[in-house]
C-alpha cells in the first residue's frame, strides 16, 4: 500500500506534486493546523505529516499518531514539535535547515530600514492625506553599529548584508569562533558590550532556556538611548512587557517584530506603541523560500517513506539500509555520549575526540562520529543534525579527531568521547552489551555502569560519609521517585559522581537545593 502523507499547513503545491510523482498518497489540508481536535482525530491515518509552524505536534498528537513514521518541517524551527516524544515513538523529525534563511535575513534587514525611516507610519500618514514632511526625520544606517545576537545561519547572512550596507557589525554568540568572526567581517563581543555599543540590535538565536528573555528591562537599561530592536527569530527572546515600557519612555527608539510570545498575536502589549512595527511571522514568506522548503521537505519525506533514506533528520542518523542493523545500537550510544557532554558544556568548544575500540572500530564510524557531534552541538544549535554537524563543527573551528584501535580493556567494544572547551576537558565513555542497550561506563575517568533514562540528575561531589543520605532524603521529601542510582568515585574521599534517573523532570528549585548540599560541586539536570 502506498504511504500516506498529510500536509496540515499552507505549503507550495510543488510539495503535493512531488509526493504524487514519488508514489506517495497526499492529503493537502492547509488550514488543519488551526484545528487541534480534527488533527487528533485523523492523524492515525497517516505515515507522514508535513507542517510549517501553525501545526503544533504535541505529545498528545504523537500519541494519537499510530502509524506516523516521519514529520517533515518545511522550514527551520521545530519548537512546535515535541521531538523527545517523537523520538521515543521512533518517528523521524526532519527539517529544511537552509531553505528560508536568506529570506528571513532579508526580512530583518527590511525591518532595519523600516525603523530607520519610519516607513510604515509615514506611509499611513501620507495615504491619509496629511503630507507630514516635517514629522518624519530618519537616521542613516551607514556607519551605525548593528549588534547581532546569535550569529548562525541567518545571523551570518544578516551580518554579510549589513557589512555591505557599511554598518559596523558586532556579534554575541558563545559558539562563534574567532576565525569565523573574522571571515564574516564581524567583531565578536560580550553581550553587555553589544548592549552598550549597538544602534540597532537584531536577534537570531533559537528560543532555549539561555536565550528566553535575553533582552529584558536590565538589558534595555544598558543600551544606548534610542536603540532600535529587531526580532525575526522567536517570540520570547525579548520580554514584551519590558520592551513596551522602553518604547513608552522613549529609551527604545523603535522595534520591529515578526514573532511574538503568543501566536497568532491578535492582541499584544506592544501593539500601537510609538515606532513599533509588526509583521505576522512572515520571515520565511517569500515565493522563493516557500518553493525551496516545500520541494525539499517533500523530497526528503518521500525518500524516507519509499526508499528508507534519511536526510536532515534531527533525531536520527543518516545511514543506508544495509548498515542499519549493526550500527543502530552504537549510533544510540554515540548520541547519548554526545548529548551527555553537550548538555554539560557551556563555553566554546575547541576540540572533540572520539576513540573507538574493539568490534565497533571495524564499523562505519563516520555515522557514529556524526551522531556524537550532532548531539554535542544540539543544546546550542536547534537545527544541527547528523548531516550538518561535521560542517558546522568545521565552520566553528572545532577540531574533530577519530581514533580506532583494537580491544585493549575488558569491554568488547568501547567508545570514548572527549570534549575540550576553552576552560576544560571532559570525557565520557560507553559500551553496548549483547542486549544492544548502551551503557555509560566512565565519566571523567571515574568508572560506573549506568543506563540513561529520559530524566537524569548528574551530581559531582566530594566522597564523604552522609552525602547519599542527604541527597536521597531531599529527593524523597520532594516526592521525586528515583528509578536508578549509579555511583562512582576516583578513590575513597576524592571526587565522586552520582548519575540518577528520576521519573519526572526536576525543577530549578530542587536542582538549586541539590547543588547547595554539603560536599556537592555541581548538580545538573539532563534529559535524553
Ligand X SMILES: O=C(O)[C@H](O)COP(=O)(O)O
Ligand Y SMILES: NC(=O)c1ccc[n+]([C@@H]2O[C@H](COP(=O)([O-])OP(=O)(O)OC[C@H]3O[C@@H](n4cnc5c(N)ncnc54)[C@H](O)[C@@H]3O)[C@@H](O)[C@H]2O)c1
Known catalytic residues are: 234, 263, 281
Of ligand Y, ligand X, none, which one does residue 380 interact with (CB within 5 to 8 Å by kind)? ligand Y
497 in Cβ contact with 440 (< 8 Å):
no
Return the closest-CA partner of residue 393 out of 403, 384, 383.
384
> What span, in angstroms and rounded, lies between the C-alpha atoms of 70 and 305?
8
Is there binding between residue 327 and ligand Y (CB under 6 A)? Answer: no
3-state secondary structure 357-415: EEHHHHCCHHHHHHHHHHHHHCCCCCCCCCCCHHHHHHHCCCEEEEEEECCCCCCCEEE
Question: Looking at the DSSP assignment, which residues form a beta bridge with residue 301?
Answer: none
Phi, psi (deg, nearest 5) at residue 277: -115, 135
Of ligand X, ligand Y, none, which one does residue 204 interact with (CB within 5 to 8 Å by kind)? ligand Y
> 101-116 and 153-164 helices cross at what angle (nearest 10)?
50
- In the list 3, 33, 48, 75, the residue contacting ligand X (rule: CB under 6 A) is 75
Of ligand Y, ligand X, none, which one does residue 114 interact with (CB within 5 to 8 Å by kind)? none
H-run or E-run covering 107? helix 101-116
486 in Cβ contact with 428 (< 8 Å):
no
Nearer to ligand X, 81 or 341 (CB): 81
Taking the complex as a whole, the smallest distance from the CB of residue 335 to ligand Y amounts, in Å, to 18
- In the list 381, 429, 440, 498, the residue contacting ligand Y (rule: CB under 6 A) is 381
> What span, in angstroms and rounded, lies between the C-alpha atoms of 36 and 78?
18
Nearer to ligand Y, 256 or 317 (CB): 256
> What span, in angstroms and rounded, lies between the C-alpha atoms of 455 and 57?
21
H-run or E-run covering 337? helix 324-344
Nearer to ligand X, 233 or 520 (CB): 233
Q: How many residues in the shown chain lie near ligand X by CB under 6 A?
A: 10
Nearer to ligand X, 283 or 430 (CB): 283
Nearer to ligand Y, 161 or 332 (CB): 161
- Dump the DSSP string for 429-485: EEEE-TT--EEEEEETTEEEEE---SEEEEEEEE--TTHHHHHHHHHHHTTPPEEEE
The number of beta carbons lying within 10 Å of the beta carbon of residue 68 is 23
Nearer to ligand Y, 342 or 430 (CB): 342
375 in Cβ contact with 334 (< 8 Å):
yes
Taking the complex as a whole, the smallest distance from the CB of residue 387 to ligand X amounts, in Å, to 17
Question: Looking at the DSSP assignment, which residues form a beta bridge with residue 132?
Answer: none
Binding mask 469-508 for ligand Y (x = CB under 6 A): ----------------------------------------
Taking the complex as a whole, the smallest distance from the CB of residue 10 to ligand X amounts, in Å, to 8
Region near ligand Y per CB under 6 A, out of 84-92, 227-235, 473-481, 489-497: 227-235
Is there binding between residue 281 and ligand X (CB under 6 A)? Answer: yes
Is there binding between residue 348 and ligand Y (CB under 6 A)? Answer: no
Is there binding between residue 284 and ligand X (CB under 6 A)? Answer: yes
Binding mask 77-116 for ligand X (x = CB under 6 A): x----------------------x----------------
Taking the complex as a whole, the smallest distance from the CB of residue 388 to ligand Y amounts, in Å, to 9
> What span, in angstroms and rounded, lies between the C-alpha atoms of 28 and 15?
10
Nearer to ligand X, 296 or 345 (CB): 296
Taking the complex as a whole, the smallest distance from the CB of residue 78 to ligand X amounts, in Å, to 8
Nearer to ligand X, 77 or 488 (CB): 77
Nearer to ligand X, 236 or 358 (CB): 236
Is there binding between residue 155 and ligand X (CB under 6 A)? Answer: no
First to last CA, the chain: 34
Binding mask 122-161 for ligand Y (x = CB under 6 A): ---------------------------xxxxxxx------
Binding mask 252-271 for ligand Y (x = CB under 6 A): ------xx------------
Q: Longest C-alpha distance within the chain, in Å?
A: 84
Taking the complex as a whole, the smallest distance from the CB of residue 104 to ligand Y amounts, in Å, to 4
Is there binding between residue 49 and ligand Y (CB under 6 A)? Answer: no
Q: Between residue 38 and residue 57, which ones bind ligand X under the rule CB under 6 A?
A: 52-53
282 in Cβ contact with 107 (< 8 Å):
yes
Rounded to the nearest 5 degrees, what angle is found at the Cα of 417, between the Cα atoms of 456 and 336? 35
Of ligand Y, ligand X, none, which one does residue 161 interact with (CB within 5 to 8 Å by kind)? none
> What span, in angstroms and rounded, lies between the C-alpha atoms of 5 and 74?
14
User: Which positions lie near ligand X, rule CB under 6 A?
Assistant: 52-53, 75-77, 100, 281, 283-285
Residues found near ligand Y in the complex (CB under 6 A): 76-77, 100-101, 104, 149-155, 172-175, 204-206, 210-211, 232-234, 258-259, 281, 283-284, 380-383
Amino acid at each position: 500500500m502506498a504511504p500516506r502523507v498529510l500536509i496540515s499547513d499552507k505549503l507550495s503545491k510543488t510539495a503535493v506534486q512531488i509526493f504524487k510523482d514519488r508514489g506517495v498518497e497526499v492529503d493537502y489540508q492547509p488550514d488543519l493546523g488551526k484545528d487541534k481536535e480534527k488533527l487528533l482525530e485523523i492523524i492515525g491515518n497517516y505515515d507522514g505529516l508535513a507542517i510549517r509552524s501553525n501545526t503544533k505536534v504535541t505529545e498528545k498528537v504523537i500519541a494519537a499518531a499510530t502509524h506516523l513514521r516521519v514529520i517533515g518541517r518545511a522550514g527551520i524551527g521545530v519548537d512546535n514539535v515535541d521531538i523527545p516524544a517523537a523520538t521515543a515513538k521512533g518517528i523521524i523529525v526532519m527539517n529544511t535547515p537552509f531553505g528560508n534563511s536568506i529570506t528571513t535575513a532579508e526580512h530583518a534587514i527590511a525591518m532595519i530600514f523600516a525603523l530607520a525611516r519610519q516607513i510604515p507610519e509615514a506611509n499611513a500618514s501620507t495615504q491619509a492625506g496629511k503630507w507630514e514632511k516635517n514629522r518624519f526625520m530618519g537616521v542613516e544606517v551607514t556607519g551605525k553599529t548593528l549588534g547581532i545576537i546569535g550569529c548562525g545561519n541567518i545571523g551570518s547572512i544578516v551580518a554579510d548584508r549589513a557589512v555591505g550596507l557599511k554598518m559596523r557589525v558586532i556579534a554575541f554568540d558563545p559558539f562563534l569562533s574567532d576565525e569565523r568572526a573574522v571571515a564574516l567581517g564581524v567583531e565578536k563581543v560580550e553581550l553587555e558590550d553589544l548592549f552598550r555599543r549597538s544602534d540597532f540590535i537584531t536577534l537570531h538565536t533559537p528560543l532555549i532556556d539561555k536565550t528566553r528573555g535575553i533582552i529584558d528591562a536590565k538589558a534595555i537599561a544598558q543600551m544606548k538611548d534610542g536603540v532600535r530592536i529587531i526580532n525575526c527569530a522567536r517570540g520570547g527572546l525579548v520580554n514584551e512587557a519590558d520592551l513596551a515600557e522602553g518604547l513608552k519612555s522613549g529609551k527604545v527608539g523603535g522595534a520591529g517584530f515578526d514573532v511574538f510570545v503568543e501566536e497568532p498575536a491578535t492582541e499584544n502589549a506592544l501593539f500601537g506603541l510609538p515606532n513599533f512595527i509588526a509583521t505576522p511571522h512572515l520571515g520565511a514568506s517569500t515565493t522563493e523560500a516557500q518553493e525551496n522548503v516545500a520541494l525539499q521537505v517533500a523530497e526528503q519525506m518521500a525518500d524516507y517513506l519509499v526508499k528508507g533514506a534519511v536526510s536532515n533528520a534531527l533525531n536520527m542518523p543518516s545511514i543506508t539500509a544495509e548498515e542499519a542493523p549493526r550500527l543502530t545500537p552504537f549510533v544510540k550510544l554515540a548520541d547519548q555520549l554526545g548529548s551527555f557532554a553537550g548538555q554539560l558544556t557551556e563555553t566554546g568548544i575547541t576540540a572533540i575526540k572520539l576513540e573507538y575500540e574493539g568490534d565497533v572500530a571495524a564499523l562505519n564510524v563516520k555515522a557514529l562520529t556524526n551522531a556524537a557531534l550532532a548531539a554535542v552541538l544540539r543544546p546550542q544549535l536547534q537545527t544541527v543534525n547528523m548531516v550538518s554537524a561535521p560542517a558546522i563543527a568545521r565552520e566553528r573551528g572545532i577540531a574533530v579527531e577519530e581514533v580506532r584501535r583494537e580491544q585493549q580493556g575488558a569491554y568488547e567494544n568501547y567508545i570514548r568521547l572527549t570534549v575540550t572547551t576553552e576552560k576544560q576537558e571532559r570525557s565520557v565513555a560507553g559500551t553496548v552489551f549483547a542486549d544492544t542497550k548502551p551503557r555509560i561506563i566512565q565519566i571523567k575517568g571515574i568508572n560506573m555502569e549506568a543506563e540513561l533514562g529520559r530524566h537524569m540528575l548528574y551530581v559531582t561531589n566530594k566522597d564523604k560519609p552522609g552525602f547519599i543520605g542527604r541527597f536521597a532524603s531531599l529527593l524523597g521529601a520532594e516526592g521525586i521517585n528515583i528509578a536508578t542510582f549509579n555511583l562512582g568515585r576516583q578513590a575513597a574521599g576524592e571526587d565522586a559522581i552520582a548519575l540518577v534517573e528520576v521519573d519526572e523532570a526536576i525543577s530549578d528549585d530542587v536542582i538549586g537545593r541539590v547543588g547547595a548540599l554539603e560536599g556537592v560541586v555541581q548538580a545538573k539536570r539532563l534529559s535524553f
